[in-house]
A and B are shown apart, each in its own frame.
Chain A
Amino acid sequence: MSATAELRSLRSGRRPAAKQQNKAAFFFLLPWFLGLFVITLGPMIASLYLSFTDYNLLQPPEFAGLDNYSRILDDARLHQSLQVTFVYVLVSVPLQLALALALAVLLDRGIRGLAVYRSVFYLPSLLGSSVAIAVLWRTVFGTEGLFNEVLGLVGIGGRGWISEPETALSTLIVLNVWTFGAPMVIFLAGLRQIPASYEEAAAVDGAGRWRRFWSVTMPLLTPIIFFNLVLQIIHAFQAFTQAFVVSGGKGGPADSTLFYSLYLYQRGFGNFDMGYASALAWLLLLLVGTFTAINFWAAKYWVFYDD
């Protein structure tokens, strides 16, 4: 059962009351409880408090009321970073999932060499978040990089993909799409759970290949699409490493790769403006939470549950 299905099932019935094992459970959960309160919830509450203060790590935090939040309203660089992040999330996630789904469908039904293809497609998603691949991306999409060389071979003039603000973000979108292997593996597992008898029945009824895909496979796959969508959107909102390395930590050129988390890092750990960084962190949580909530709400209209 997936995480989202778990959350859904929370609303439904309870388990029969069994013998409580509170003491043993407390012992086993002790590290997790400590982590939850000291490493996660405690700092969360602390950052909420800090977001109402002026704090530079050296002097104790000074209460500043809603100052940080009113700064949010007229911080042009923040608005730029929001725009960059939205474009990145809204373009790269659908592309990535479409590619993942298309290749999963191609790989389904016992194709020869499945294991090899799957490994090849999956590998980039393990490498993609590393600094090494970001370094590679800079050499591939630089003015004299591999991509321009290849374009030159077919007679297309190149440009400085990373050094020009119009195209810098698209190189990072390509990088995220390149890591479609992980959702593809999840799609493959989902496809395998669809009973072959469904498609056979549709075929007997005279449905063609295309029709069977859209009317049988796709509806049954919507919960997996939903699951991938939720996870990848949350993931993409937090993108950091690639933009940091590709732009040398600046988010340039002309702030065109200034991801939200990169801007937050600059404010917090570059300028030690910790109060404002905390406010930004809570805004991010709010944004991610809203997107996820919209996703769950919209799911009613397009996600099909067989059970």
Chain B
Amino acid sequence: MTDTLAKAAATPPGAARPGGPPRRRLRPVVRSVVKHTVLILCALVMLYPVLWMVVSSLRPNDEIFQAPDLFLTNLEAGNYGKGWNAFSKPFSHFMINSGIVVLGAIVGNLVACSMAAYAFARLEFKGRRWWFAIMLVTIMLPIHVIIVPQYVLFSEFGWINTYLPLIVPKFLATDAFFVFLMVQFIRGIPTELDEAARIDGAGHPRIFLQVILPLMVPALATTAIFTFIWVWNDFFSQLIYLTDPEMYTVPVALRGFVDAQSGTNWGAALAMSVVSLLPVFLVFLFGQRFLLRGIATTGGK
């Protein structure tokens, strides 16, 4: 393309050229240049706030609100130290708490959703179509409709300020989106493989564990990655169920920066924001193949 670009640049638009009218040759090049310019501009606008956040987190506090650019003149790593120790516990404490919730949620979703998906995709049972329709509807159900009684229920169990309200529902396949995603995937696996295993005398638990599960690893990876990102970012339910600072997860702790009555330390707030987004970014970097395929086939958030 650089070659054609150079040619296009060397030739004024109106100049006659041997070998054909110039407009024909120029148009695709111009179109492509315009396209890429628009795309690059869009990409810059999109990413600018995030890049500025990273740069600002390394700036002294009095410079943050005076520098719209991305050039670091005075490096101030102290924001990270201040942010890390801004609360009664170091920030790593909240990261570990979030990690526990995320890990529990991932295991729960993988186990429960794959089991349900196997039944919906491979087994014939009474009312299957209607159960399946109900499952689809629950994907779209707003969480607010159930949060009040759920809160009452979990507080009866004594689960407030534990991670159980955030983890146990995942072991009951309440994230129906992933059931749907896995059903779609299992339907793509040839049934001949099940048949062969059945002829060899395998029952459903064995077909599920030894035939289907190993083949649906990509769908499991997509589920694990999405669960990681959604649960790591989830604020609403963590805010409701976790009120003891000891139990705070990253989003709930992070919000403490903004609520502080006595002037927010924005440098520290941005520094910890960067820290909190880092895991999401890394997961995205290494797992985007699965993410893109996941939303392309099912239409996630």
Contact = CB atoms under 8 A, between A and B. Distances in A.
B152 interface: yes
A281 B145 contact: yes
A73 interface: no
B68 interface: yes
Contact of A145 (B65, B132, B136, B288): B65
A186 B295 contact: yes
Interface in A66-81: none
Contacts of A106: 35, 38-39
A254 interface: no
B184 to A, nearest CB: 7
Contact of B149 (A28, A47, A235, A292): A47
Contacts of A144: 65-66
B145 A127 contact: no
Contact of B270 (A21, A39, A130, A139): A139
A148 to B, nearest CB: 9
A146 B49 contact: yes
Contacts, number: 285
Contacts of A249: 259
Interface stretch (A110-118, A194-202, A298-306): A110-118
B274 A121 contact: no
Contacts of A117: 39, 43
A127 to B, nearest CB: 6
Give the one of B149, B184, B291, B300 with max A CB within 10 A.
B149
B6 interface: no
A35 B168 CA distance: 9
A238 B144 contact: yes
B204 interface: yes
Given A47-B146, A136-B50, A21 B258 contact: no
Interface in B14-50: 35-36, 38-39, 42-43, 46-47, 49-50
A47 B1 contact: no
B89 interface: no
B163 interface: no
Interface in B129-173: 129, 131-136, 138-153, 155, 169, 171-173
**A interface secondary structure, majority:** helix
B53 A241 contact: no
Nearest to A175: B49
B179 to A, nearest CB: 7
Contact of A32 (B116, B123, B124): B116
A121 B2 CA distance: 25
B227 interface: no
A156 to B, nearest CB: 13
Interface string B176-209: 0001100010000000000000000001110010
Interface residues of A, number: 105
B169 to A, nearest CB: 5
B270 A22 contact: no
Interface stretch (B73-81, B99-107, B215-223, B229-237): B229-237
Nearest to B183: A6
B273 A132 contact: yes
Contact of B276 (A113, A123, A131): A131
A44 B68 contact: no
Contact of B295 (A112, A121, A185, A237): A185
A131 B172 contact: no
A250 B281 CA distance: 30
B64 A139 contact: yes
B144 A264 contact: yes
Nearest to B285: A119
Nearest to A103: B42
Contacts of A3: 136, 139, 180, 298-299
Residue of B144, B257, B291 contacting most chain A CB atoms (<10 Å): B144
Interface string A231-261: 1001101101100110011000000000001
Top 4 nearest A-B pairs (CB, nearest first) are A35-B172, A132-B273, A25-B125, A189-B296
26 contacts: A17-B124, A21-B123, A25-B128, A29-B131, A31-B171, A31-B172, A43-B150, A50-B148, A50-B149, A57-B152, A119-B284, A122-B288, A126-B229, A129-B233, A129-B235, A132-B251, A132-B277, A136-B53, A136-B270, A139-B53, A139-B266, A241-B236, A265-B236, A281-B148, A285-B141, A288-B142
Given A50-B148, A120-B43, A281-B144, 19 more contacts: A6-B133, A7-B136, A24-B203, A28-B116, A32-B179, A43-B149, A111-B39, A122-B288, A122-B291, A127-B277, A132-B254, A136-B49, A136-B273, A138-B258, A139-B270, A149-B67, A231-B140, A245-B258, A285-B145
